[in-house]
């Protein structure tokens, strides 16, 4: 099943992310896909806020992975610069560290993504409007979508 949600502001995007966080579970993986400026980091800010993380969330483009302590740990990844080569950084180890993993540019590492995950494609309509195409993989993610959407 696939879901489509339209947001009309950064605040609505953050609220959507917070709704997903309300159904969080350890080892949750959210894969974000979308063009530059589509709202991937804004969505991650919503997850972080709901996890009680007060730090400023920025895209980890040059760090690749940023870790934040919250209600559950948040592992925020930007794999754009990896060119599909993730073996050296232990990326897949994060899937089992008991936190919430958010991967920006997840489409670039398709072969390394877990089988069970939440895929979110973000399409830009205009300066403020975004369409989120959400596809759960696995029963836990399907149940989460049913509860949230």
Split into its structural domains, the chain has a count of 1
pTM of the model: 0.95
| DSSP single-letter state for residue 43 | H
Question: Which residues have C-beta within 8 Å of that of residue 103, sequence separation ≥ 6?
Answer: 29, 30, 31, 32, 77, 79, 109, 113
Segments forming the whole domain that contains residue 29 = 3-148
Query: pLDDT tens digit string along 61-107?
Result: 778 899 999 999 999 999 998 876 777 778 889 999 999 999 999 99
Query: pLDDT tens digit string along 29-53?
Result: 999 999 999 999 999 999 999 999 9
CATH number of the domain within which 109 lies: 3.40.50.300
Question: Which residues have C-beta within 8 Å of that of residue 29, sequence separation ≥ 6?
Answer: 95, 101, 103, 113, 114, 116, 117, 118
């Amino acid at each position: 099943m696939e879901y489509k949600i339209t947001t009309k502001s950064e605040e609505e995007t953050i609220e959507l992310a917070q709704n997903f966080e309300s159904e969080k579970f350890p080892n949750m993986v959210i894969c974000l896909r979308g063009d530059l400026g589509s709202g991937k980091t804004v969505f991650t800010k919503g997850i972080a806020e709901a996890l009680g993380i007060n730090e400023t969330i920025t895209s980890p483009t040059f760090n690749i992975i940023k870790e934040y302590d919250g209600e559950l740990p948040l592992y925020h990844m930007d794999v754009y610069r990896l060119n599909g080569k993730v073996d050296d950084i232990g990326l897949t180890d994060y899937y089992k560290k008991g936190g919430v993993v958010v991967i920006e540019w997840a489409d670039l590492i398709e072969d390394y993504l877990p089988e069970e995950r939440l895929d979110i494609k973000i399409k830009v309509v205009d300066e403020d409007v975004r369409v989120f195409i959400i596809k759960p993989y696995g029963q836990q993610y399907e149940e989460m979508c049913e509860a949230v959407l």
